[in-house]
Structure 1
Amino acid sequence: MNPYQLYLVTDENLTLERLKYVVREAVQGGVTMVQIREKHHDVRAFIERASAIKTLLKGTGVPLIINDRVDVALAVDADGVHLGQSDMPATLARQLIGPDKLLGLSIENHQQLDHVHQLPVDYIGLSAIFATPTKTDTLHHWGIHGLKAALQSSSLPIVAIGGINHNNLKEVATTGVHGIALVSAICQAKDPRAATEQIKALL
Structure 2
Amino acid sequence: MTTDQDRWNARWKVRGLASSGSSSLLELVGPWLPAAGSALDVAGGGSGDAVALAVAGLTVTVADVSDAGLALNRKRAAQSGVAITTVQVDLENDALPPGPWAVITLANFSHGPLFGCLASALAPGGILAVVIATTTNLDRHAKPSLSFLLESEEILGLVGNLEVLHHSESWRVNGRHEAWLVARRSVYS
Shorter-chain TM range is 0.3 to 0.5
Greater strand proportion: 2
Structure 1 length-normalised TM: 0.34
Greater helix proportion: 1
